[in-house]
Amino acid sequence: MKNLLIIFLLAFVSVGYSQQYSDHYYKRKDVFENTLDTENEIIFLGNSITEGGDWSALFPDINAVNRGISGDVTDGILFRLDEVTSSKPDKVFLLIGTNDLARGRSMDYVVENTEKIIEQIKQQSPDTKIYLQSILPVNPNVGDKFSGHKNNHHVIIATNKRLKELAKTHYITYINLHRPMGNGKKFLKPEYTYDGLHLSKEGYQKWKKILHKYVN
């Protein structure tokens, strides 16, 4: 009986301490939580595509704050959102969802979690302006990795339509990145990516041009 109890406790501890997200996620989250809040923050919130942007260099005249984490998903944003809202930021630019879809989450799941993110920001920081960005296009003809993401070309387009309606429902600004960064086939333009998913330097410059009027 004693041995069974020990086995049960070990199993419980093992499950209780299992990591839901990557080491990189927790390291970034820890850094964010141990960084002092500043005034007039404009936060760029999302996954690796956001993390890869040098937002302070792209927008040197604002207090740009990078809150991107590679591999992040909508659940991951919700799990760390208290830190984002703690500074009562002026603006939050949200881009999330492509990793959810690549991991088999449904369109409904992405939209519902995105709504939870919007609602939590509004509740915790009512004066923050929220900008919901469309999921970026992908390009299956560039690079040989991330097939799980690149196979979602049509799902991304359909999800973006839902996200646009979600933005209307919550009276927040929807920013369509998909159309200006896509080509005639609605794939991410080759000059904007080096692997079909993540952005090149030219891709970030295009993103900057799209966001300029909203940031300033």
- Predicted local confidence at residue 168, as pLDDT: 98
Options 3.50.50.60, 3.20.20.80, 3.40.50.1110, 3.90.79.10; CATH for 21-215 is 3.40.50.1110
The dihedral through the CA atoms of 187, 189, 192, 193 has a sign that is positive
Residue 14 has pLDDT above 70, yes or no: no
What tens digit of pLDDT does each residue of 119-174 get?
999 999 999 999 999 999 999 999 999 999 999 999 999 999 999 999 999 999 99
DSSP letters spanning 169-203: HTT-EEE--HHHHB-TTSSBPGGGBSSSSSB-HHH
- Band the pLDDT of 40: cuts 50, 70, 90: very high
Helix/strand/coil for 94:
strand
Burial of 31 (0-12, 13-18, 19+ CB in 10 A): exposed
Residue 48 has pLDDT above 80, yes or no: yes
- Band the pLDDT of 18: cuts 50, 70, 90: low
What tens digit of pLDDT does each residue of 64-87 get?
999 999 999 999 999 999 999 999
Give residue limits of the domains in the chain: 21-215
Residue 178 has pLDDT above 60, yes or no: yes
- Predicted local confidence at residue 212, as pLDDT: 98
